[in-house]
């Protein structure tokens, strides 16, 4: 069983650029969540995708967008990068989506984004 | 919106039990308590979860008070590899399985 993988591991961009981060969910998982973790802080929920549709969003501006593909892998896109977007971006997958009272999330290793 | 309060940091001697408290006084009846830990900027790792009853697995025990307003994660025999940031999370009802993390407790296991 393959765990959650993310690419790239590290990324350096300049302010105003756009970035795409990728996540492959664990086998059999149809739900993917994305989190932003600034240095010294806990992960902050960005949004979640369930069967290719957005299933909840945290307090992030529209320049943060995402996609989920038929194989349940996912992308996080950030436009017009700002210095404060520098963070560890975490992807987590889980086996079920709506209407489930309990669900463990399996996290990937993250992508470290630095915006200069 | 984090619904939990945890101490910022704790120390524990190697081989002793580590008891990590968490306050979740506004928890609702159908909301689970989860514990995750994060070692040096790796992805968070699931430890344990519970609703009302105490739970135990190969990693830890979770003690939830009868009123469910607080809980304690117990690592029975802490090792140096247990040094990490531990997050207590209450999953908000009606939001699928989205987690709202707080700032966690930084546990240092001392030789």
- Distance, in Å, from the CA atom of B8 to the CA atom of B20, rounded to the nearest integer, reads 11
- Distance, in Å, from the CA atom of B4 to the CA atom of B27, rounded to the nearest integer, reads 9
Chosen for mutation from B95, B97, B100 (greatest number of chain A CBs closer than 10 Å) is B97
Whether the CA torsion B72, B74, B78, B84 is positive or negative: it is negative
> Would an 8 Å CB–CB cutoff place B99 in contact with chain A?
yes
Residue B101 to residue A50, Cβ atoms within 8 A:
no
Token pair for B25: 């006084």
Residue A50 to residue B100, Cβ atoms within 8 A:
no
CA of A13 vs chain B CAs: smallest distance (Å): 20
- Give residue A108's pLDDT: 95
Pick the closest to residue A74 from A17, A29, A12 (CA basis): A29
- Distance, in Å, from the CA atom of A112 to the CA atom of A37, rounded to the nearest integer, reads 9
- Give residue A9's pLDDT: 96
Q: Write the pLDDT tens digit of every residue in B73-98.
A: 999 999 999 999 999 998 765 556 67
Neighbours of B104 (CB within 10 A): 28
- Give residue B80's pLDDT: 96
Neighbours of A9 (CB within 10 A): 9
Place of tokens 């009846």: B29
Neighbours of B28 (CB within 10 A): 12
Token pair for B82: 């247990």
Residue A55 to residue B103, Cβ atoms within 8 A:
no
CA of B41 vs chain A CAs: smallest distance (Å): 8
Q: What is the mean pLDDT of residues A96-102?
A: 53
Indicate the residue of B45, B97, B102 with minimum beta-carbon distance to A100: B97
Q: Write the pLDDT tens digit of every residue in A66-86.
A: 999 999 999 999 999 999 999
């Amino acid at each position: 069983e393959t765990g959650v993988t993310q690419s790239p591991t590290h990324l350096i961009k300049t302010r105003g650029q756009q970035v795409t981060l990728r996540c492959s969910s664990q086998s059999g998982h149809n739900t993917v969540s994305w989190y932003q973790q600034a240095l010294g802080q806990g992960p902050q929920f960005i949004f979640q995708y369930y069967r290719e549709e957005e299933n909840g969003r945290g307090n992030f501006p529209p320049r943060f967008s995402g996609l989920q593909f038929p194989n349940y892998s996912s992308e996080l896109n950030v436009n017009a990068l700002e210095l404060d977007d520098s963070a560890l971006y975490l992807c987590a997958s889980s086996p079920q989506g709506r209407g489930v009272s309990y669900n463990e999330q399996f996290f990937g290793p993250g992508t470290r984004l630095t915006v200069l | 919106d984090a619904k939990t309060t945890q101490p910022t940091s704790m120390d524990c001697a190697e081989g002793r039990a580590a008891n990590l408290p968490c306050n979740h006084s506004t928890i609702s009846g159908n909301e689970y308590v989860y514990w995750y830990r994060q070692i040096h900027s790796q992805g968070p790792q699931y430890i344990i979860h519970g609703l009302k009853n105490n739970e135990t697995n190969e990693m830890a025990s979770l003690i939830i008070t009868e009123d469910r307003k607080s809980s304690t994660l117990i690592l029975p025999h802490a090792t140096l590899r247990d040094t990490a940031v531990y997050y207590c999370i209450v999953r908000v009802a009606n939001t699928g399985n989205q987690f709202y993390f707080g700032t966690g407790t930084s546990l240092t296991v001392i030789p």
